[in-house]
Amino acid sequence: MNTNIRPNLWFDTEAEEAARFYTGVFKNSKLGAISYYPNVGQEITGKPPGSVLTVEFELNGQQFVALNGGPDFKFNESISLGIDCADQAEVDYYWDKLSNGGDPSAQQCGWLKDKYGVSWQVVPIVLYAMHNDPDEAKRERVFKAMLDMKKLDLAGLQQAFEGSMASRAN
């Protein structure tokens, strides 16, 4: 079986706006089909006919669906979308774009919450190797440095990993 997994994101009324925002942030992205609420079911959905029901979109090859489902459910940090970044420039780019208008109090250890309430992890990919290094002292220094950061600072993490100096907090 070649089954894809496609995350569905529940919004109140902002599905199309959010999909357009995300496809503007990720360079290899596109909007897909937009479906609309039909003339039936308003007594259950509370949505007017012709309003946006779902928006399909793709970010860097990953397909998503955004649904305008109403105010009943909100995003929380129990699930997040991770972005593996090649370098500090990518970390800075995604952090700046996605955190703009978001909740600054929800920023810690590379995690942020965007203006729609979606949680993201913006992580330099080398951090995974650092966390899995066989040297426990290196792993502990990197972990401690990461705990002091909001946006991850690759140079600070590398310095902590090497033991060359204390990391810088962001």
Instruction: Say what the pLDDT of residue 60 is.
Output: 95
Class at the top of the CATH hierarchy for domain 8-68: alpha beta
φ, ψ of residue 64 to 5 degrees: the values are -135, 160
Q: CA distances (Å), 163 to each of 109, 113, 122, 131, 146, in order?
A: 19, 31, 23, 14, 14
Fold (topology level) of 81-162: 2,3-Dihydroxybiphenyl 1,2-Dioxygenase; domain 1 (3.10.180)
Instruction: Say what the pLDDT of residue 72 is.
Output: 92
* 59-103: pLDDT as tens digits: 999 999 999 999 999 999 999 999 999 999 999 999 999 999 999
Instruction: Say what the pLDDT of residue 18 is.
Output: 98
Instruction: Say what the pLDDT of residue 50 is.
Output: 95
Q: CA distances (Å), 127 to each of 84, 123, 131, 133, 152, in order?
A: 9, 7, 6, 10, 10
Q: Where are the domains of the chain?
A: 8-68, 81-162
Confidence grade of residue 167 (pLDDT, cut at 50, 70, 90): very low
pLDDT at 169 over 60: no
* 90-102: pLDDT as tens digits: 999 999 999 999 9
